[in-house]
Amino acid sequence: MVTLTNLVLTTAFAAAGLASVIPPKIGTTVLDNGHGTSSGRASLKQVRRPGYRFNGARDIYKTYLKYGVPVPDYLKKAVANIDALNAAAVSKREKGSAPAIPVDPRFDIAYVTPVTIGTPPQTLYLDFDTGSSDLWVFSSHTLASQVRGQMIYSPEKSTTAKLLAGHTWSIRYGDGSGSLGNVYTDNFTVGGVTVTSQAVQTAQQVSTSFTSESDIHGLVGLGFSTLNTVYPNGQLTFFDNAKSQLDSPVFTADLKWKKEGTYDFGFIDETKYTGEITYLPVQTDPGYWTFTSSGYAVGDGSFNQVSISGIADTATSLTYLPTAVVTSYWRQVEGAVNSQYYGGYVFPCSSKLPSFTFGVGSANITIPGSYINYAQITEGSPTCFGGLQSSSGLGINIWGDVALKAAFVVFNGGNPPTIGWARKPLEQ
């Protein structure tokens, strides 16, 4: 077995709460010691969702649902508008006997990560979500009418599954729909790290927004456990349960542009970033990884020093910032408009997008303009959907994957918790 160097995080914040720059200690990635036992670290790749059809308005719609915000009528209509355009495109291809086309490799849209549950192990592809704290899955208890191709977890087929008697869970969304069900405990494995007796929330009912996503079989909440919705006793997240067997109480997100990214648990891989990691304090109430950015710049423009408090959310595709910030960005893009028909900022795909830089303490992270070109409205359209949108309707700023892909991000669950940001080589 390779000798591992444990990571030690020491945090020293000034009275004003400024970021500290801490050179991390790292070791080599070891998934298994050759005998089927965990090494205290895990590294796993995300997987592309080959059947996904892009709808930028639906991504914004789902963000409203996730954070319990009523969905405005124009956004509901925008989802229908783009769905109709997609349906027309599919009809034309089928009539022309064209082959099915997977997700366009020019765009980053959606990824899932394989996990196993139970004994013998059952594999599901789940969405890792630092913006929630429920580990819930499609299951053999889910209404048949709400399962459309998802893999399901069957606790009755696992010899290690146990019903957590008297416990239920329920999540209500901004459109009035919801997901709910029972709770079991079972073995849960992520990249070689296994938690026994992990609370697994088995869905009996799911929101229509999840039914329509056949490649997402549930969520792994990686927010703070205080957000967990199990009643009457909230349950710990996978990360909180796994901390004791990890080399360090950290996980990292190295999300990528145009290809699979990785999540690492228990260690920091120095080959995945350059320079130093800048750590910022985290506001954990009510349970998000909330930090404060020190400002922003558009392209080669001057840096605007303004505090922007927001959530680092790996399960939100877009980035949502204050209207003034977003407006200042899209003013620099020829032909960009805030379209109610399409549900957000769109622009001619031929337009060159400037970069967007945001401050993390005394350091900066730059999102290349190409990352902010989220995708074409529909396949072959000359109009593209922006990856940077206004947070005004949400009431909360969210640093989603458009921003996270531009950095190496450390979620440090130590005491106190911090979030670390570092630059890395970027795909252009």
Catalytic residues: 129, 313
Show contacts of 412-416: CB within 8 Å, 24+ apart. 412/9, 412/11, 412/249, 412/250, 412/279, 413/239, 413/240, 413/243, 413/249, 413/250, 413/251, 414/9, 414/11, 414/248, 414/249, 414/250, 416/11, 416/281, 416/282
* Alpha helices, DSSP H, located in 96-223: 208-211
Asked whether 175 and 73 are in contact (CB, 8 A), the reply is: no
Q: How far apart are CA 413 and CA 130, in angstroms?
A: 12
241 DSSP assignment: H
What does each C-alpha distance from 33 to 30, 49, 193, 196, 265 come to in angstroms?
7, 30, 12, 19, 16
Task: Determine whether 62 is exposed, middle or buried from the number of CB atoms within 10 Å of its CB (0-12, 13-18, 19+).
Answer: buried
Residue (of 365, 366, 372) closest to 387 by Cα position: 372
Cβ pair 200, 183 in contact under 8 A: yes
Q: Are the CB atoms for 253 and 44 separated by under 8 Å?
A: no
Distance CA 348, CA 385 (A): 9
DSSP state of 224: -
Nearest 5°: phi and psi at 328? Answer: -65, -30
- Using CA atoms, how far apart are residues 285 and 47, in angstroms rounded to an integer? 31
The residue behind tokens 């079989």 is 217
Is the separation of the CB atoms in 60 and 318 below 8 Å?
yes
Question: What H or E segment, with its residue span, contains residue 239?
Answer: helix 238-242
Q: Answer whether 126's CB lies under 8 Å from 393's CB.
A: no
User: Angle, nearest 10°, between helix axes 73-95 and 56-66?
Assistant: 140
Dist. CA 361–CA 350, nearest whole Å: 34
In whole angstroms, give the CA distance from residue 374 to residue 82: 15
Of residues 324, 290, 310, the one with CA closest to residue 416 = 290
